[in-house]
């Protein structure tokens, strides 16, 4: 199995994309300095190697939204990128889940071979231009909806993006080719909330190496906001179990976080399971399984 890219925190200083005026996404805005006094003209600056060197790429952790059991799933991918973080996130989406993620059940409805042809951001609207392969989404209405939602959620992680407009080969995409999903208006996260799972685990992520205690965090919309969780070792033995309460539940989505503790003698595969209990029969509902590596 491939190794999952590590988690991290998306660096805020890389999210300062242009918020007004149409720009090519990620292109730094031209800086200007006050004009010199006519009486004392400034001498032209001598060029230095730094003057002509583009900003160095840095390791950045980005949200990449895939699919997991017919719901949206947020993966955390660490990539080397400069200022064009939205473009980097889209490229990660189009590169598909890692081998580790795929083996754990993470998938994508974006058609293989889809290429990013352009991305601009203007006044909170990201216009994404995709190659013709994007128009061949399969999986019926659900598959087409997921392919749209994956792009919308991936791009709206950035504060400068409030909505997304779609193009194929430079032509505005007003309806999905297969089942005619209306895309004439900018697509926002709220338009696709029905594809969000009851429980979304944001930390840890698939393949992450964890030590004890491990913080399990995410969002949930479950009965009485009660979230159950446990951690299993490579043999399926339960190492810890707990429950916590989200900040909102039963009709609204709230945040949750709780620590699980464990002890292992050697590095090994493990699974963190998160679910909610049915008030009718106590059965486990909407179980999310996060494959991790447990370390002593």
State residue 240's pLDDT score. Answer: 98
- Residue 249 confidence (pLDDT): 86
Architecture of domain 199-294: Sandwich (2.60)
Locate tokens 């447990």: which residue?
Answer: 294
Instruction: Report the C-alpha gap between 18 and 24 in whole angstroms.
Output: 9
State the alpha helices, DSSP H only, in 123-195: 140-155
Q: Characterize the bridge pairing of strands 125-130 and 163-168.
A: parallel
Q: What is the pLDDT of residue 55?
A: 59
Write out the H or E segment, with its range, that includes residue 91: helix 85-94
Domain-wise residue ranges, the chain: 58-195, 199-294
Output the pLDDT for position 241: 98
User: What is the spatial distance between Cα 285 and Cα 283, in angstroms, rounded to a whole number?
Assistant: 6
Predicted confidence at residue 19, as pLDDT, reads 40
Nearest Cα to Cα of residue 5 among 84, 98, 125, 82? 98
Say if residues 262 and 238 touch (Cβ distance below 8 Å): no
Tokens linked to 230: 């446990």
Q: How many residues does the chain have?
A: 296
Q: Strand ranges (DSSP E) for 82-213?
A: 106-107, 116-122, 125-130, 163-168, 171-172, 199-203, 209-210
Instruction: Provide CB contacts within 8 A for 15, sequence distance 6+.
Output: 85, 158, 159, 160
In this structure, how many other beta carbons lie within 10 angstroms of the beta carbon of residue 238? 11
* CA pair distance 256, 243, nearest whole angstrom: 10
Q: In what order do the strands lie in the sheet with 71-81?
A: 71-81, 58-68, 106-107
pLDDT, position 262:
98
pLDDT tens string for the chain (296 positions)?
433 333 333 333 233 333 434 444 544 334 444 444 344 444 444 343 333 444 567 889 999 999 998 999 999 999 998 889 999 999 999 999 999 999 999 999 999 999 999 999 999 999 999 999 998 887 789 999 999 999 999 999 999 999 999 999 999 999 998 888 999 999 999 999 999 999 999 999 999 999 999 999 999 999 999 999 999 999 999 999 999 999 998 899 999 999 999 999 999 999 999 999 999 999 999 999 999 999 99
Angle between helices 85-94 and 140-155 (to 10 degrees): 150
Q: Hey, CA dihedral for 161, 167, 173, 176, is it positive or negative? A: negative
- pLDDT for 13 equals 29
Helix (H, G, I), strand (E, B) or coil at 83: coil
What's the pLDDT at 178? Answer: 82
Provide the pLDDT for residue 56: 64
**Complete edge-to-edge strand list for the sheet that includes strand 163-168:** 23-24, 116-122, 125-130, 163-168, 171-172
């Amino acid at each position: 199995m491939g190794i999952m890219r590590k988690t991290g925190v998306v660096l805020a200083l890389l999210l300062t994309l242009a918020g007004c005026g149409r720009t090519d996404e990620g292109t730094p805005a031209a800086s200007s300095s006050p004009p010199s006094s006519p009486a004392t003209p400034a001498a032209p600056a001598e060029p230095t190697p730094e003057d002509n060197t583009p900003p160095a790429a840095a390791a950045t952790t980005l949200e990449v939204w895939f699919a997991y059991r017919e719901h949206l799933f947020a993966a955390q991918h660490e990539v080397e990128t400069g200022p064009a973080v939205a473009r980097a996130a889209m490229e990660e989406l189009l590169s598909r889940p890692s081998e580790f993620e795929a083996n754990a059940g993470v998938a994508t409805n974006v058609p293989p071979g889809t290429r990013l042809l352009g991305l601009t951001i203007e006044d909170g609207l990201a216009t994404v231009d995709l190659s013709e392969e994007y128009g061949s989404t399969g999986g019926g209405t659900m598959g087409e909806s997921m392919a749209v939602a994956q792009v919308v959620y991936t791009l709206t992680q950035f504060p400068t993006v409030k909505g997304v407009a779609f193009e194929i080969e430079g032509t505005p995409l007003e309806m999905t080719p297969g089942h005619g999903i209306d895309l004439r208006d900018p697509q926002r996260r709220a338009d696709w909330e029905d594809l969000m799972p009851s429980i979304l685990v944001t930390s840890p992520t698939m393949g992450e190496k964890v030590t004890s205690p491990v913080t399990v965090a995410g969002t949930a919309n479950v009965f009485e906001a009660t979230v159950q969780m446990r951690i299993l070792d490579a043999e399926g033995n339960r190492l810890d179990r707990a429950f916590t309460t989200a900040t909102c539940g039963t009709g609204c989505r709230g945040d949750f976080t709780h620590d699980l503790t464990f002890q292992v003698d050697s590095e090994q595969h493990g699974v963190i399971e998160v679910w909610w209990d049915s008030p009718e029969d106590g059965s486990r509902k909407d179980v999310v399984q996060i494959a991790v590596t447990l370390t002593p």
